[in-house]
A = this chain, B = another copy of it.
Amino acid sequence: MYSEGLINKGGCMKKLINNPDNVVKEAMEGMEKAHGDILKINYDPAFIARKDSPKKGKVAVISGGGSGHEPMHGGLVGFGMLDAACPGAVFTSPTPDQMEAATKAVNGGAGVLHLVKNYTGDVMNFQMAADICASEGIKVESIIIDDDVAVKDSLYTAGRRGVGSTVLTEKIIGSSAERGDNLETVVKFAKYCKDNGRSMGMALTSCALPSVGKPIFEIGDEDIEMGVGIHGEPGRERMKIKPANELVDMMIEPVLSDISLKNGDEIIMMLNGMGGTPLIELYLLFNRAVEVASKKGIKTVRCLVGNYITSLEMQGFSITVMKANADILKLWDAPVHTAAIRWGI
């Protein structure tokens, strides 16, 4: 009657699904019902677009990637953020036809920016879509986010992985596009975000793909994975669990030092849950992260605390820091209306 994917006999990985093959489609239907005022959904090929797209004369910003990281990216589509998001199967890159169709659907004639997280499949498939669209006369630029300082290369990545900075970048360049900046300017801000945002994550537990139902990696009852990727990729070290403050210290130091932050600098910080971590713990972790930055004279002037780029039900967290300045904060503070991030509207 029901799929094996509902139950993992080897752990606590039960799933609230009907059929592993339909999870993404049924979730998109739910998003359409919940957010039909701001979103329209295309099911084949799959993409989530702003209801008011295409906006003539506005630069369009598109992102996408495997599902399972919600609310990113579908929950970040709307006024002041993304024009469209392309969801792949869970932890699987979307296919080029999705990005091609989304690009054509939201192109308002002022150019389209593809914001891509650095995973081999995502990069390749976005590039194929960009090439097709460019050959048909659409101006397409691509920026690849590779902000994860944990490891140099990884399971699905040449170079650093793209993680939490993507969320902050989508807000900043989304507001740039929204106020009417041209493609060159939006790309300039995207490059700023790429160069000035860094992240690192850790996991207490694994998660399970709906199609498999078993943990994607094994981890001991007292162990954590320091530097984990958002698909459970190995990080820097498997170690015994430590008090929260020690974990934060181990993560914030490499993040801050990698962008050479110094006394007097201002930052936007995201303390992100991996999906299964209680909010009370995220605030406790955020408290320490801000303190550590503050002791170095680095001031946290804006923040997000919550689940923004997740790994299904994984327990763990990541810290993302982006260096701020007056231009960036003006874009950050501008009105935004998406399913997951909303203010000023």
Contact = CB atoms under 8 A, between A and B. Distances in A.
A277 interface: yes
Interface string A304-345: 010100101101010000000000000000000001001111
Interface of A: 1-3, 6-12, 14-19, 23-24, 26-31, 33-34, 67-68, 70-71, 75, 90, 204-205, 207, 221-222, 224, 241-245, 247, 275-288, 290, 300, 303, 305, 307, 310, 312-313, 315, 317, 339, 342-345
Q: How many copies does the complex hold?
A: 2
Contact of A312 (B275, B280, B317): B280
A23 B284 contact: yes
B1 A313 contact: no
Contacts of A281: 15-17, 23, 27
A16 B285 contact: yes
Contacts of A90: 280
A177 B238 CA distance: 52
Nearest to A278: B312
B30 A287 contact: yes
Contact of A241 (B6, B221, B241, B307): B6
A26 B243 CA distance: 13
A310 B290 CA distance: 25
